[in-house]
Amino acid sequence: MKRKKIIIIGGGPAGLMAAEKLSSVHSVCVFDKEKNIGQKFLIAGKGGFNLTNKAHGLELISKYTPSGFLNNALLSFDSTDLRQWISEIGIPTFVGSSGRVFPEKGIKPIDVLNRIKEKLIQQGVQFFNEHEFIRFDSNKTVTFKNHEGNIVIEADYILFALGGASWPVTGSNGTWRIIFESMGINTKPFQSSNCGINICWPETLRINHAGKPLKNVRLSTSNFKVMGEAIMTDYGLEGNAVYKLVPSIRDMFNNNEPVKINIDFKPLNTKEQLINKVKGKDVSSKNYKEIFNLTTTQLAIIKAFTNKNSFQSIEGFVSSIKKISIPVDSLRPLNEAISSIGGISLDEVNDDFSLKKYPKIYTIGEMLDWDAPTGGFLLQACFSMGNYAAKSILNEDI
């Protein structure tokens, strides 16, 4: 006999993990406003599908902002636990480059989602798709809108796992914020995270070099630097190294500071080492590319953002190789960002993600205001939060 009635709203990784843990004991219904659950999970699987990252313990928790907020959830269900859980439902994983954990070759994102769903159905979870949550109250009553009208459902516990606001075509559009605000829950506006940046490239540079990679560069702002790869695009820069700079860039924009991104094209060489390369050689700006081993795109960027005198002097040119400063216009919009910050303010929730103002109502996953880089850390946090909230309910209800 199942004991309590639990409704979970939002069929993404956070909600599905909570459903899996709770349904062994309680009666669980999962509601989602889309035709199918897990749409963002499937999108995540289209690129590199990083289910988690091999980082664990202190290394794992160091990836999240603000620090400390997710520690208990992450430490009670870390990347090893996630790999174990997913392998038990029939999805073996492997560790790829930079510690990213992927499903074994040949396993598609839909296979992973179907396995999770099958496990939940076996455990008696009921799914209600095309049910949009539009209201809740302190008696744990939730109103949904579906094609027949409104339905009202009462539960012993409610878990909201409504996602953030990036890629709204997946269903996670953040329109729920207004409902929580109307219930006295503070929320923060959504902002893009893990996204590209807009740069107003000079026209010829844009036309001739959009799509070209900038490999092994160091990117920096005034307070953060990172090594890696970026891709030059029509509108600016994309790529993992750029995403890591986004929190710093976003803070500067939020403080109304002008933002510049600096590129060091030869991070492994000092200025002196680069100057030594020209000793005894007949140098002119025509053979910079060969002498300093630069790509055509690197050279074009340096030329576009260096004044003529500097470009023609060796000292000036080498300084530009080491640091070219490019004004950043803005971050790419939410509909392209991999994740978002904003949503439920963290001071509204207890350690187990239950709302301080509404007992037995929880908010989990990307709908809360935290941040993490790509590389499996986003999904890991969502699964860990689902697990932790479920554990708290199970402990409470013994």
List interacting residues with ligand FAD (CB under 6 A).
9-15, 31-34, 37, 39-41, 43-44, 47-50, 132-133, 161-163, 166-167, 171-172, 176, 338-339, 365-366, 376-379, 382
CB of 325 to ligand FAD, least distance (A): 30
Considering the complex, state which of residue 201 and residue 377 has its C-beta at the smaller distance from ligand FAD: 377
CB of 52 to ligand FAD, least distance (A): 7
Which helix (H) or strand (E) segment holds residue 170: the answer is none
Considering the complex, state which of residue 109 and residue 316 has its C-beta at the smaller distance from ligand FAD: 109
CB of 17 to ligand FAD, least distance (A): 8
Sign of CA dihedral 279, 285, 287, 293: positive
Q: Are 12 and 339 in contact (CB under 8 A)?
A: no
Nearest CA among 26, 37, 115, 110 for reference residue 394:
26
d(CA 361, CA 156): 9
Sign of CA dihedral 28, 393, 176, 365: negative
Place of tokens 């994983």: 93
Considering the complex, state which of residue 230 and residue 338 has its C-beta at the smaller distance from ligand FAD: 338
Considering the complex, state which of residue 37 and residue 302 has its C-beta at the smaller distance from ligand FAD: 37
d(CA 358, CA 253): 34
Considering the complex, state which of residue 166 and residue 221 has its C-beta at the smaller distance from ligand FAD: 166
User: Measured in whole angstroms, how far is the alpha carbon of residue 142 from the centre of its chain?
Assistant: 29
Q: Is 353 strand, coil or helix?
A: coil
Q: Is 123 strand, coil or helix?
A: coil
CB of 209 to ligand FAD, least distance (A): 25
Considering the complex, state which of residue 322 and residue 332 has its C-beta at the smaller distance from ligand FAD: 332
* Structure tokens that stand for 299 in this block: 């050279």
Instruction: Kindly report the number of other CB atoms within 10 A of residue 93's CB atom.
Output: 21
CB of 14 to ligand FAD, least distance (A): 3
Considering the complex, state which of residue 112 and residue 300 has its C-beta at the smaller distance from ligand FAD: 112
Considering the complex, state which of residue 157 and residue 377 has its C-beta at the smaller distance from ligand FAD: 377
The answer to whether the peptide bond before residue 92 is cis (omega within 30 degrees of 0) is no
3-state secondary structure 282-327: CCCHHHHHHHCCCCHHHHHHHHHCCCHHHHHCHHHHHHHHHCEEEE
d(CA 124, CA 1): 12
d(CA 70, CA 27): 27
CB of 380 to ligand FAD, least distance (A): 6
CB of 48 to ligand FAD, least distance (A): 6
End-to-end Cα separation, the chain, in angstroms: 14
Considering the complex, state which of residue 162 and residue 393 has its C-beta at the smaller distance from ligand FAD: 162
Enumerate the β-bridge partners of residue 159.
8, 362
